[in-house]
Homo-oligomer: A and B are copies of this chain.
């Protein structure tokens, strides 16, 4: 067994998937669920995802070797403060938040002496939320980014690396600020844009809206999947990665304005050039093995 006892705080999609992965791969003798919702605790117990489920987060970490914070980014500091007094000497605390600099800022001051904190972010998810939505395979062949600080003990980094590898993930180590910039581009901006475009459609008159749904397969549908992601989680992401998001959003807006102007001025050459360049990135993603099964199916079909 890798750990004697693991506490997961927050049993949503990620937390509950992690519990299932731990069970599947036998990574702990005991799993404890800490979740402030009694309803979630009941569900966790009825699904047999943990040996115990407690709404008192402070109590839930007692005696655990590993504590994983799987709550929205805006709650990390508060939860860390609450559990700090009960953390076991030598325990590792990690998290799964989509923003790393602010999570470290918020939690750092509460980490007790003798406890190892190492921030992490599994790049995995679906548009579904809650403990029923999780599955053990969520992390398989996906990246997990760890963002240790200068003072983080190498042993803790190694242990968390082995843990995520056992869940099927590939590990990448980078600085928290760099993480927030890269994810700002690959994840936060795309989600913001998807939320916007689906929101724009949502504001249309009802008769047009029903047709938008009917003919959604023509492009719009691809945006609705990510725009169905958990609103609390994403509110906290944008509030806590403000600078990187606003910076990349500024670039995006400039590029969109340039295309808008080209459409207005009927500048076909500019449009063609812009649209031709973006194909290469898709090929690079397919080459990097990051394309999804649907694509692979289509590629096979056209062989």
* Contacts from A to B (Cβ < 8 Å): 74, 123-128, 132-135, 142-143, 145, 172, 181-183, 185-204, 208-209, 211-229, 231-232, 234-236, 238-239, 242, 245-246, 248-249, 251-253, 255-256, 259-260, 263-264, 266, 268, 271-272, 274-285, 288, 290-295, 298-299, 301-302
- A208–B181 CB distance below 8 A: yes
Chain B residue nearest in CB terms to A178: B211
Q: Which residue on chain B has the smallest CB distance to residue A128? A: B302
For residue A54, give the distance in angstroms from its CB to the closest CB of chain B: 25
Contact A143 to B214, CB < 8 A, known contacts A195-B275, A234-B271, A285-B221: yes
Contact between B202 and A186, CB atoms less than 8 A apart: no
A interface secondary structure, majority = helix
Which residues in B have their C-beta under 8 angstroms from that of A293?
294
**18 pairs across A/B with beta carbons < 8 Å?**
A135-B302, A172-B214, A188-B219, A190-B222, A190-B223, A191-B219, A192-B259, A195-B274, A199-B255, A199-B274, A199-B278, A201-B281, A213-B285, A216-B290, A228-B279, A228-B283, A245-B263, A246-B260
Residues of B contacting A252 in the complex (Cβ-Cβ under 8 angstroms): 196-197, 200
